[in-house]
Amino acid sequence: MTTDYQLVIIGGGPAGLTAGLYAARAKLRVLLLEKGIHGGQITVTDWIDNYPGFPDGLSGFDLADKMAAQAARFDLETKNANVVSLDLAGPVKKINLEDGLQLTSQTVVIATGARPTQLGIPGETELIGKGVSYCATCDAPFYRNLEISVIGGGNTAVQEAIHLTKFASKVTVIHRRDQLRATKVIQEKAFANDRIEFIWDTVVTEILGDKEVEAIALQNKNGKKSTLAVQGVFVLIGVRPNNEVLPLDQLEHKNGFIVTDKEMRTSAPGVMAAGDICWKEVRQVVNAAGEGAVATLAAERYLEEPSRKE
């Protein structure tokens, strides 16, 4: 079988870069496609304190830069390009780019990632990394003995609120409805926690602060406005998969996230997925990188099958 590449990786975040590192080191004919800058979501993360090997922590941009440099040392071929569609059916995978070019490959690793659902209010984007966060597991230790707020009422929001009480002095959960959507057992744990307070039937209309978060502006369902002084805001209202270019009719998925087995194989032969695009509970840089490595190893095994050797 003759194709342009043995492996094409779509996405240059931690999962994609690690997949590329492993593939280039294994001397595969591999190409990594990324429409933006390498690193994905971590490039807008102010500080990463929990990635192994960096005891003092480092910025998300620096970690992405180091990952890209390590992959480049093994001559990973990369291309800055926007993928517009894919055909993953059959032994030859077709990747169509915005410039009209079509690439072919025997295997594909999908590492397009996901993005947090934002509130879309004034102050939110400006204060990301300065008190606005979308991941309590990542950033909770930065809020020791501070008063913070959690926006949302689902399982993730309430579980993360409970986690945050290990560090913050007070956590105020703000929910637009009059009751939580989280499962009852999680609700009971939150209601029993004396560090958690709730504000019901209320939305956040603005995040206030000059150089860092100082307060949030609130409005309840009756139109009454108020402000709440906090030093941190955790927006936990959902995560959206970056799946716009994926042929979801060719892949098993749940809520738009790609279903994989433990080897990161999807339902389509020769197609793997890694990182935040996958259907899973934990979305951290460290497990995205691990999944990228596993995905490439699975691609290697697929390529080694006798019927697919060139």
Residue-level pLDDT at 310: 54
Position 153 pLDDT exceeds 80:
yes
**Domains within the chain, CATH numbers bracketed:** 5-115+239-308 (3.50.50.60), 118-235 (3.50.50.60)
Candidates 139, 201, 276, 278; catalytic one:
139
79: pLDDT confidence band, cut at 50, 70 and 90? very high
Candidates 4, 49, 62, 138; catalytic one:
138
List 196's β-bridge partners, or say none: 171
What's this model's pTM, rounded to 2 decimal places?
A: 0.85
Q: Is 4 a catalytic residue?
A: no
- Name the E strands within the chain: 5-10, 30-34, 77-80, 83-87, 93-97, 102-110, 114-116, 132-133, 147-151, 170-174, 196-199, 202-208, 215-220, 225-229, 232-235, 239-241, 253-254, 257-258, 271-273
Give the tens place of pLDDT for each residue, 265-291.
Answer: 999 999 999 999 999 988 899 999 999
Residue-level pLDDT at 37: 84
Q: Dihedral of the CA atoms 199, 202, 203, 205 (nearest 10)?
A: -100
Parallel, antiparallel, or unpaired: how do β-strands 147-151 and 257-258 relate? unpaired
Question: Dihedral sign, CA of 244, 247, 284, 302?
Answer: negative
112: pLDDT confidence band, cut at 50, 70 and 90? very high
Amino acid letter, 77: E
Which positions ≥6 away from 104 have C-beta within 8 Å? Answer: 3, 4, 5, 92, 93, 94, 95
Nearest to 146, CA basis, from 236, 49, 56, 233: 233
Residue-level pLDDT at 281: 86
**2 vs 174, higher pLDDT:** 174
- Which range has the worst mean pLDDT, 69-83, 129-143, 219-233? 129-143
Parallel, antiparallel, or unpaired: how do β-strands 93-97 and 83-87 relate? antiparallel
> Average pLDDT over the chain, rounded to whole?
94
Q: Is 138 a catalytic residue?
A: yes
Amino acid letter, 5: Y
Distance CA 138, CA 283 (A): 10
Which positions ≥6 away from 48 have C-beta within 8 Å? Answer: 42, 54, 57, 58, 59, 60, 63, 138, 285
Residue-level pLDDT at 231: 97
Nearest to 292, CA basis, from 164, 30, 109: 109
Q: Is 75 a catalytic residue?
A: no
137: pLDDT confidence band, cut at 50, 70 and 90? confident
Calculate what percentage of the chain has a pLDDT beyond 70.
99
Candidates 4, 75, 87, 135; catalytic one:
135
17: pLDDT confidence band, cut at 50, 70 and 90? very high
Determine the number of helices (DSSP H) and then strands (DSSP E) in the chain.
Answer: 6, 19
